Structure 1
Amino acid sequence: MNRSYRTLKASFIILVVSLLMIPFSLANAHAASYEVVFKSGAHGTINGTKKETHKLNAGDTFPDEPVVQAEAGYAFKGWDKALPSVGSTVSGKQVFVARYSVLVSGVQYTVHYVDENKVAIATPKTIVAEENSTVNERAKNVAGYQYQEATKDLTITKDLKDVYFTYTLTNPNEVIKYVETTEYETVNQVVNGENAANNNNATTNNPTEAPGTTPDNEPVQDNETPKADGGKDKVEDNQTPKAKGTSNSMLLIGGGIAGLALLAGCIIFFLKKRKVTEK
């Protein structure tokens, strides 16, 4: 009987410790989410704003370098510290601030992202840099493609007009269905080669909706989130859209707590039963 009592006592201690560890486990789960922030600095903007923030999970791919629009009379010179290599993963919060130099003799050039047939697969960017300076251009991460070169070191001359990053399909059995460039982004759709012919015939009757509209072209308000069925969920200013992954995590945590509570109830029941037997 003493042995059984010691076993139940040890189980109870383990239960208490497990319950106390739950808040720490939740804190660690939240700590695995990081921000990567690009700030425009004193003499420019990033897409019309002063900063661009990416909220990512540990292990996510480092975001593409944003396009910096320098003020008149200035040229974007890079960041206050070196960016991680193209394709690297996020492991902590990082902040990068744009730097500038006074523009004396500017040269404008365009960076293109194309497949092996010279077809655009991502939105190009146009930049003005100081003549005779050296700049480093980075490839973009494009779904379904692998860049042939991650970076290019360029010497800016008056003859420089276009720079090309060439990509290959990650799956040779896939082909480009079509490429549509809008004012927002270049849209790429990749399909299996066996169905490419049929899908090509269907594209002319199925235009792609621009961002900010639902499938029936109904405008989406700033505080609404489009649903898959064409409806919209309203999101308050102090809320973020719910994800299924979050619900599943909460269900697992709730199930774990319920299991521990059940174990605790069994231990208490056996302890009371033992006391009754001893009397």
Structure 2
Amino acid sequence: MTVLTQSSLEALGNSPVGVGLRHEHYNFALEPSSPSIDFVEVHAENFFAKGGATSYLLDQVAERYPVSIHGTSMGLGSGVSINDQYLKNFARLVNRIKPFLISDHACFTWGNLTNEPVHAGDLLPLQFDRATLQALSDNVDRVQQLLGRQILVENIVSYKSFAHNDFSETEFFSRLVENTQCGLLVDLNNLLVNFKNFPVGKPIEVAKQWLTEVPSDAVKELHLAGSSEPAPGAMIVDDHAQAVSDECWLLFYEAIKRFPEAAVLLEWDNNLPAWDELISEARKANGWMNRLKTELI
């Protein structure tokens, strides 16, 4: 059984639980009668523009909620350096909003074509080798030095497996933490999707083992999400279009044993429910945390 410190036991059940704020919900989130939530996450790239309606809305949101800024285009694992203008926009947003968490993905996005920066438009998977680890470490260090703050790096869904890796995924992330002192954002649904698409055992059991192999003090946030059922024989696509699955909730129960102080975020990007339903779904996380706390006291 996981042994929790007194401070971790006190934090369990009190860790902040938030939701991803999408444009369909802006007005609902700002209504005075809106149900409360501990924080909201916004995608950085939606708010790079100077001024305008979206900038004004984000300022209003930040007055009401703590904000987590989640990048989707930084491409921390890219072999080339991250685009300078992108980083300037990102830093300007962080300095203006002063989020309580900052995160992006362990993925490849940036390249050069005829000496011009090109973005892939997607989160492309990384090979877990020494060269990629160095590129990722260099990029994370550059971002943290620019921002003057720790960032969290998230594991992604991969639709391709590589024949050769120098490290396991968990060792790769552990070495990244050692190199840069970054934090980790563990997406639980991403783990399950990967272990279903590329089975190496019972997905939930393999995912539980994965959780034990990353440094617990580095994990600052957990993501919860749901994916649509694929057609027979097809891969699962991480579409964030469904409620969190029972299997993901069970994995969450294991995760909070190991990372009791991590913030928790519910992601839902497609087929969005009503705002009240989204908040209700997120609050299930509090129920799981309180259940574990009760069992351990």
The answer to which structure, 1 or 2, has the higher relative contact order (CA under 8 A, 6+ apart) is 2
Report the TM-score when normalising by structure 1. Answer: 0.26
Larger fraction in strand: 1
User: Which one has the largest radius of gyration?
Assistant: 1
Report the TM-score when normalising by structure 2. Answer: 0.25
Larger fraction in helix: 2
